[in-house]
Chain A
Amino acid sequence: MESIAFGIGITALAGALATVAGAAENTESDIGSQGDPNSQVQLAPQMGYLHRIFNKAIAGEPPAYGLWVCLGAGIAWAFMAMQINPILALVLGSALAVFIQGVYATTAYLGRTASLAKFGQPVFVDVLKSMTTVTMAHAFVAIFTTVTMCHLINAALGHPFPLPLLGLVWGIALGAAGSATGNPFYGKERQYQSQKFGAGVPIAASGNIVRYAEAGERNSLDNGWFSAKLGGPASGLCFGLIVFLEIWRTVLFEQVGAGWGAIIVGIIMILIFAVIDRYIEVWARKNYGPYGKPAEEGS
């Protein structure tokens, strides 16, 4: 009984850490314009729309976070092998991984923006100085929470994978969940705020991103503020639920029916999420209604 209570406690803590990680990851990637919406930040100057948005698409979010979390976990693991206090090792490992992220962010911004020189897009040194540190701070939160979660799974719950391998697995999953959930909110709702609400961006409008704020030109901190309102928390909830439910079904039901208990609970949860998804889809069709008559294609 005590071991189950301990397992549930660790599961809840891991889920909470994953939620914070997901929210920080998405906000970081939106401030840096990483992920798919970056295509528009890169395209805008080519269409004649010069801007002051930070542009640091190093790689897709999943491999980028796979690298950083794996690095953080690997360094922390090495420090722990040197008998350094685990909490200190986790902080140091994450901090060192964040420096790598900072180097990548700097070179990505300079390289990507310099490649747009023939379209007249300047490299803003003040953008580089003010944004890089903010993305690094968010990345630290995301990396530290994910590495700590992996350490809990490994040390307290006894998962067979060593810490760096868990870091790679959950880093890639973190990037996948964060980019899937958060990207549309930043890409459509923020970059194309001037377009009509409740419809996709017409392909003809590509590149015409919003470049001005309430006062002066829009910068990426404004974008971080905006996506922290829904895209970030939703990504956090998504990744938190993935981690929590995955561990929860294993910790509670693994012993039931020689492993089949956890499988059946997993299938039931998949069905529940399918029903919720279908409900939301039908709700939208009923409440928002069609754009045109069935015969007319998209009017």
Chain B
Amino acid sequence: MSAVGAKPQAGGAMDMPATIAGIILLLVIVGATYFMVGPGLMFMALIGIIIGGLAIAFGVHFVPVGGAPAAMGQAPGIATGVAMLAAGAGLAGLFGGAWAAEQGLVVAVVTGAVGGGLMMAITCMFVTFIYVFGMGIPCASGKVAKDPISGDTQAEFKSQGTEGHGLPFVSYVGGVIGGLLGGGGGTLIYIMLLDVYKEALPGMMQALPAQVLPIAVSLAGIFAIGMFLVNAVLTAYNITGTIEGPHDPKFKRFPRALVASAVASALCGMVAILIVAM
């Protein structure tokens, strides 16, 4: 369905045949991987990659993105693209998570999540700063009468001829949650792939583990960035343009993105694992 053809306020209506086809495809990919690599580290890595991809796809829905209208104060949100802002935050998280990879899976994933959240917290604060002190415009949502978190009324702070502007507090919180999920998901994919490559590459290249470590890190890093972008762009198509955050009616579309993201992550994960397993 094109953006033009989409119903306004389209909710989370699922296209059942497409959903069933997606789930069957997912099971086929997971089953094929199980058949090829068997149970163990590599299969668990695929499951981890799918969970990471789901976290990214879900997280991108929280990020308040206004696109071009936000740059003119015509619509609320951050004035940039959905996929790009989420990628910026998620990759900043991946940077932190990769640094903490030696401290175990849980610490690394949480460190990555906090890195992504911190990036969004600082960026969203500066967006509010520019709107208020640079342009003299208060924050106002165009989608809800009251901010669900702070309870502030919105309509009277919306200037004439616009859909709202800036980041109401619920959008700020949404941005931080999006950064947390994106950073955590990206780091999870990275750690899963790093474990697989550290295990498989020494035998494959007949070298010592220390010698293949730089290759394993680079390969896992570039695959993690690639899968992050796959999930972020898929979700951007689901959002079609702009979203204000968790209070936006478009947020209810997320189940569709989760199905698509699970299939895409499984396929990408299978390829990333099979390059060392075959």
Known: A172-B91, A201-B162. A181 touches B130 (CB 8 A): yes
Known: A37-B72, A185-B134, A200-B137. A266 touches B114 (CB 8 A): yes
Chain B neighbourhood of A173, CB < 8 A:
88-89, 91-92, 119
* Interface: B34 (CB within 8 A): no
Which residues of A (125-164) have their CB < 8 Å from a CB of B?
159-162
Residues in B with CB closer than 8 Å to A62 are 80-81, 84-85, 87-88
Interface assignment of A118: CB less than 8 Å from any CB of chain B: no
Shortest distance between the CB of A191 and any CB in chain B (Å): 8
Could you say which residues of chain A place their CB within 8 Å of the CB of B172?
A: 274, 277-278, 281
**Is B73 in contact with A188, judged by CB distance below 8 angstroms?**
yes
> How far does the alpha carbon of A182 sit from the alpha carbon of B127 in the complex, in Å?
8
Given contacts A170-B95, A246-B92, contact A288 B138 (CB under 8 A): yes
Main secondary structure of the interface of B (DSSP, over half): helix
A246 and B158 form a contact (CB under 8 A)? no
> Which of B52-60, B215-223, B258-266 contacts its partner?
B215-223
**Interface residue A108 (Cβ < 8 Å from any Cβ of B):** no
- Residues of A243-299 whose CB lies within 8 A of B: 245-246, 250, 254, 258-260, 262-263, 266-267, 269-270, 273-274, 276-278, 280-281, 283-285, 288, 290-294, 296-299
B81 contacts A60, C-beta separation under 8 Å: yes
User: Residue B227 at the A interface, CB < 8 A?
Assistant: no
A281: shortest Cβ distance to chain B, in Å? 5
The listed residue with most B CB atoms (<10 A of its CB), out of A184, A231, A237, is: A184
Chain B 154-175 against A: per-residue CB contact (8 Å), 1 yes, 0 no?
A: 0111111111111111001100
Contact, CB under 8 Å: A260 / B107: yes
Q: Tell me if A4 is interfacial: C-beta within 8 Å of chain B.
A: no
Chain A 39-81 interface 0/1 with B at a Cβ cutoff of 8 Å (1 = within) = 1100000000000000000001111000000000000000000
Residues of A within 8 A of B (CB): 35-37, 39-40, 60-63, 159-162, 165-166, 168-170, 172-173, 175-177, 179-189, 191-192, 197-206, 230-231, 234-235, 237-238, 241-242, 245-246, 250, 254, 258-260, 262-263, 266-267, 269-270, 273-274, 276-278, 280-281, 283-285, 288, 290-294, 296-299
- Sample of 11 A–B contacts (CB below 8 Å): A169-B91, A170-B95, A180-B127, A201-B72, A246-B92, A266-B111, A267-B114, A274-B176, A283-B132, A285-B157, A291-B159
